[in-house]
Structure 1
Amino acid sequence: MSGPEPGAESLASDLPWSAQPIYSNLGEVRAHLLPSKACRPRTPRSLSSDPQPPPPPLPKKTLARTQSLPTRRAPGPSSARAGQPPRLPLHRSPSEDVSRATGLTLDGPSAALGLSTHPLNSPEAVQDALAARQLDALRDIHARLQARLMGGRPGPCLPGHSFRLLDSLPCVESGEALYYRVVRVDGVAWHVLAAKVPKPGATVPHPWGVELQASLPPHFNLQGLCGLVPEGALPLAPWRGPAVLASEVPERTVAQWLAEVGAQRPAESAWEVALLFLQLSAALERLEAQGATLLELRPENLLLVAPRGCGAPGPPRLLLADFGCVCQRSQGSLGAHALQMGRLLRTLLGPATPSATPVAVGLERLVAQLPRRRPSAAQTRGALQTLLWGPGLELRGRGAPLGPWLRVRRALLVVHLAERAAGGEVPGLEDWLCCEYLAEATEASLGRALELLWD
């Protein structure tokens, strides 16, 4: 506040309330501090002759200033200590206080976590909210990884595209075709594709299977096609006749991989065998959903490709490419691939004595169960997922609930991926497959997978 104006001090000595503190230049605040003109005393005699009680001293009128502040209720006489906020009413219930405090807290960072819509007044509600948030996080991570692993797919061939052959020798020879690396150029954009040329003397492919392959939407474990090599586009090509352009360039076949791992089977390669067989089950699951059956399942017709966007070495991507042996299946043959899958899994594991690792023991168990139980490809995929990422046999037959295990496993995976991301590590194919498993698994599906393996 500013000091009194010149001459105000001599004037104040003649006023009846000169003993009281002088307030000057108060503006609008002075109107709240002083009584209204109708109640203001005019002479000193009125202070003693007025039968009404005298007004309170001016300094105590400072409480009237709170009338201009937004308050819910005036403080009681016991809480009017100067400089302290009013106390909360004592009649409010504890649950009301918790609800009010929780609501205030959720206006901050918790709202960004998606918890502001959940009633968090009990441990059960907190657990359910966190479990739902962890499931949403896994689904989001799975979608992001899938976009990266399947990104950069070339579109269909157009008349303006030009082509160039990179190698005169095939990069891969499968049981049914030879694959050559070809560059397709569209202005400044280019893609490395694979020209799929039928081998001389190969069986004529089934037309229904070829049409099915061309019409299927993109799938991670099914070979995708993007058109034909135009006639005359590659005059120096070492083949004659039409050639199909595949979106992914294969690196080797499963038969070549088996020859390379050789002496390492099955102890060192059991985990990789399970990952390859898991991807094969996903491909066959898509065929069974389309009402199709692969008549001949051979290692030389299964292609291996390096996954997109994976810097560090890791498990390869498996592609089912032999659609010439695909035909419509009869009704009621949902497990039509079970016998072939059992024989192929035995080939991948080899005839040696299995190791004592849980995955190797589980794969041997699955080899015995496939011809006996005749599961669908989807059921086989579920059994392989439990072998790779749990739960194990210790939770089978004890009556232990699988729901808590699933919630804890999801939380641990989210923490694990976060720790690796903080260290700059890029997730890979195995992380994506694990996210897919835990994002879609239920307590019932876990029980069915354990039953298929161990009953």
Structure 2
Amino acid sequence: MSSPELSAEAPGPDVPRWDSQPTYSNLGEVRAHLLPSKASRCRAPGSLSAEPQPSPPPLPKRNLARTSSLPLQRASSPGPSPAGTPRRHFLSFSIDESGAGTPKAGPGCPPAELPFRWPEAHLDLSLPDLSRLEAVDAALRARQLEGLRTMHARLQARLLGGRPGPCHPGHGFRLLDNSPCVESGDTLYYRMVRVAEETWHVLAAKVPKPGTKEPHLWGLELQASLPPHFNLQGLCGLVPEGALPATPWRGPVMLAAEVPERSVAQWLAEVRAQPPSECARAVALMLLQLSAALERLEHVGAVLTELRLENLLLAEPRGCAAPGPPRLLFADFGRVCPRPAGHPSTHAAQLGLLLRELLGPSLPMATPLARGLERLAAQLLRWRPSAAQTRGALQTLLWGPGPELNGQAAPLGSWLRVRRALLVLHLAEQATGGEAPGLEDWLCCEYLIEATEASLGRALALLWD
């Protein structure tokens, strides 16, 4: 990352915390008990070893605090249960492919830590169940879906980790550069350091350009009140006036939690120089993240009055090795206002026009994905779907299924189960090769967790009907 965000991190939940110092004892006393007696050895008169040596003073002994991760009981052997004893359920949860809820984990299997050791790896199957293929299939599908949810949660924690908190009066500030790191259509961004005792964060001062359009205050208040979202720019507070000896701006300015690297307008010039297949995929992944940001705005009853490439920002995602898709940050809240009565509730028309601008005149016929994106642009202008429906269509174009499964009797459930299994294998191959999953892996994992047969059918109908 070109502008890393460093902080003094507290120990994680799995790091043991000691209430007192570990126990240690006098090494001389330990050797005296371990070495054999040497009373029969002849010693020369007057030798130093002939005289009794005083024992070294004992060091203070302290108690060792036992951590919660140490086993307190022996694991029971996987033998037959006594008569009348109910069969132990090592993994007790029911599969839910409707997307309405999460699996019900048993008390011995927290969702974030799936047990894959023997004998805990039983799949809640009795001996007769092993002869029934439908029971085995249901158990494997349940474990598979729960595993994907766990992987998604861990990747999300890594991608969104290290987020700085709000500003406090005791914080100090230091300007890193006198020139902006990024210039968007309406804003200049300057890299800053916020210091609090031994913790410091690299943030971005968000300075409005002189003469820009007056922002909607409602949108700025909405930005400050929204919970953290991967594709929405987060705010940490204000840089107080007079906190720095000299700044390229006047008055207090907002502090953004993420330091942008470029705008989408700058990125587009670079991505169009790539091969057509890579260019189409990069456009699809960028628009997928934008539709996720607009989906959040539609959910709270907000509407973006004007969608401009130069006001969309890109940053390097945390914890991901380059190369990979950048993280899109929607930051143009000054053009966000409450949805007027009678106004369409979607941003489909703006997304359709933006998609055609991103594709350009020559790309649509170059690859199957580019042809699918051109088809989506036409459907956005025709049907005006919601941002959530647009996101589902983009996920389908990126990771399947294709138009051949668009129909009433299409085996979408079987396709979804196979696709989930392939993603699990892909992530396992990455892990064994020492390769960290990236942003696209997380987005694909999110898609396959949320997807249902009904949602796949709706996405295919939007694209190909």
Q: TM-score, normalised by structure 2?
A: 0.73
Paired residue for 1:158, among 164, 168, 189?
Answer: 168
SS of 2:200's equivalent in the other structure is strand
1:223 to 216, 230, 233: 233
Question: Which amino acid in the other structure matches residue 232 of structure 1?
Answer: G
How far the C-alpha of 1:204 sits from its partner, in A, is 1.2
Cα distance in 2 for residues equivalent to 1:254 and 1:303: 6
1:116 to 107, 120, 124: 124
1:385 aligns with 2:409: no
Q: 1:65-80 residue pairs with structure 2 within 5 A?
A: none
- Within 5 Å, which residues of 2 pair with 1:86-105? none
Alignment of 1:127-138 (within 5 A): 127-138=137-148
Question: Do the aligned partners of 2:220 and 2:334 also contact (CA within 8 Å) in 1?
Answer: yes
- Classify the secondary structure of the residue corresponding to 1:153: coil
| Kept in 1: contact 2:303–2:345 (CA 8 A) | no
Provide the aligned length of Structure 1 versus Structure 2: 360
Query: Residue 396 in 1 paired to residue 406 in 2?
Result: yes
Counterpart in 2 of 1:412? 422
Query: How far did 1:101 drift?
Result: 12
Partner of 2:5: none
- Tell me the SS of whatever aligns to 2:281: helix
1:254 to 264, 267, 274: 264
Alpha-carbon displacement from aligned partner over 1:190-209 (angstroms, at most 9, x marks no partner): 10000000000011110100
Q: Deviations over 1:249-284 (max 9, x none)?
A: 000000001122344475430000000000000000
**Alignment partner, residue 66 of structure 1:** none
Identify the residue that residue 321 of structure 1 maps to in structure 2: 331
- Which consecutive residues of structure 2, in runs of 5 or more, have no partner in the other structure? 1-79, 93-114
Correspondence 1:247-326 to 2 at 5 A = 247-264=257-274, 266-326=276-336
Could you tell me which of 432, 435, 456 is aligned with 1:446? Answer: 456
Q: Alpha-carbon deviation of 1:229?
A: 0.1
Seen in structure 2, the aligned counterparts of structure 1 residues 112 and 182 have a Cα distance that, compared at 3 Å, is: same
Pick the aligned partner of 1:139 from 149, 154, 158.
Answer: 149
Match of 1:437 in 2: 447
Q: Would the alpha carbon gap of residues 449 and 332 (structure 1) be closer, same or farther in structure 2, given more than 3 Å must change?
A: farther
Counterpart residue number, 1:196: 206
1:362 aligns with 2:378: no
State which structure, 1 or 2, has the greater radius of gyration over its C-alpha atoms: 1
Deviation at 1:394, TM superposition (A): 1.5
1:178 to 181, 188, 195: 188
Whole-angstrom CA distance in 1 between matches of 2:342 and 2:148: 35
8 Å contact 1:266–1:354 — kept in the other structure? Answer: no
- Deviation per CA, 1:58-87, whole angstroms, max 9, x where unpaired? xxxxxxxxxxxx9x99xxxxxxxxxxxxxx
Conserved? CA contact 1:251–1:304, under 8 Å? yes
Report how far residue 312 of structure 1 moved: 3.0
Whether the 8 Å contact between 1:178 and 1:199 is mirrored in structure 2 is yes
The whole-number CA distance in structure 2 between the counterparts of 1:394 and 1:250 is: 40
1:269 is paired with a residue whose SS is helix
For 2:397 and 2:350, locate their aligned partners in 1 and report how far apart those are by CA, in whole Å. Answer: 20
Q: Tell me the TM-score normalised to structure 1 length.
A: 0.75
Give the 3-state SS of the residue equivalent to 2:278 in structure 1: coil
User: Residue by residue, what CA displacement relative to the aligned partner does 1:363-388 show, whole Å, maximum 9, x if unpaired?
Assistant: 01001100101000000000000000
**Structure 2 letter corresponding to 1:444:** A
Distance 1:440 1:336 in 2: 21
Aligned 8 A contact 2:125 2:136 in 1: no
Counterpart of 1:277 in structure 2: which amino acid?
L
- Alignment-mate amino acid for residue 260 of structure 1: E
Describe the SS at the equivalent of 2:189: strand
**1:195-244 per-position Cα deviation (integer Å, ceiling 9, x unaligned):** 00000001111010000000000000000000000111112111112210
Partner residue of 2:347? 337
* Pair 1:280–1:122, CA change in 2 (3 A): same
The 3 A distance-change label for structure 1 pair 132 and 103 is closer
C-alpha distance after superposition, 1:33-67 (max 9, x if no partner): xxxxxxxxxxxxxxxxxxxxxxxxxxxxxxxxxxx
C-alpha deviation, 1:336, in angstroms: 2.5
CA distance in 2, matches of 1:331, 1:129: 49
Q: Contact (CA 8 Å) 1:266, 1:355: kept in 2 or not?
A: no
Alpha-carbon spacing, 1:379–1:331, altered in 2? closer, same or farther (3 Å): farther
Q: Partner letter of residue 150 of structure 1?
A: L
Relative distance call for 1:114 and 1:346 in structure 2 (3 A) is: farther
332 and 390 in structure 1: CA distance in 2 versus 1, 3 angstrom threshold: farther
Match of 1:167 in 2: 177
1:235 is aligned, of 229, 245, 260, to 245
Deviation at 1:396, TM superposition (A): 1.3
Question: What is the rounded CA distance, in whole Å, between the counterparts of 1:221 and 1:428 in structure 2?
Answer: 16
CA gap of 1:159–1:101, structure 2 versus 1, over 3 A, is closer
For the pair 1:212 / 2:231, whether they are aligned, the reply is no
Following superposition, the deviation at residue 439 of structure 1 comes to: 0.6
Aligned equivalents of 1:185 and 1:117: distance in 2?
Answer: 55
Report the 3-state secondary structure (helix = DSSP H, G, I; strand = E; otherwise coil) of the residue aligned with 1:425. coil
SS at match of 1:427: coil
Deviates more, 1:349-358 or 1:425-434: 349-358
What amino acid is the match of 1:406? Answer: L
1 CA distance for matches of 2:344 and 2:419? 31
